[in-house]
Amino acid sequence: MANRPNQVLLQHYGEVFNSLPMPPGESIVGDLADDLADIFGEVDRGLRWLEAGHPAEAVWEWGFGLVHHWGQGDCTISQMLTRTFSR
């Protein structure tokens, strides 16, 4: 890592998008910075709704993000970081 100071640590990672069929589906490449920015944006929108006095909208925003985006992404990111730093 010291020999590559200009590279972002863990920028891209691979995953199998749909692992249910046998054999599993094709692998895809994920972008950690992009995924984290998306999660931040969705959490931030919910916080803005909450601060504006609209808790139902905040809960909807977070629920939608969890089901349709970061619920899956968070698991993948967590697994990737755990595997990388436990070596």
Q: Give the list of residues 6+ apart from residue 29 with CB closer than 8 angstroms, or none.
A: 12, 13, 14
Percent of the chain past pLDDT 90, that is, above it, reads: 24
Residues 21-44: tens digit of each pLDDT: 677 667 777 788 888 888 899 899
pLDDT band at 77 (very low <50, low <70, confident <90, very high): confident
Q: Give the list of residues 6+ apart from residue 34 with CB closer than 8 angstroms, or none.
A: none
Rounded mean pLDDT, 57-75: 82
Spatial CA neighbour of 25 closest among 15, 33, 38, 36: 15
pLDDT band at 13 (very low <50, low <70, confident <90, very high): confident
Rounded mean pLDDT, 61-81: 77
Three-state DSSP class for residue 75: helix
With 0.75 as the threshold, say if the pTM is over it: no
Paired tokens of 80 = 């990737």
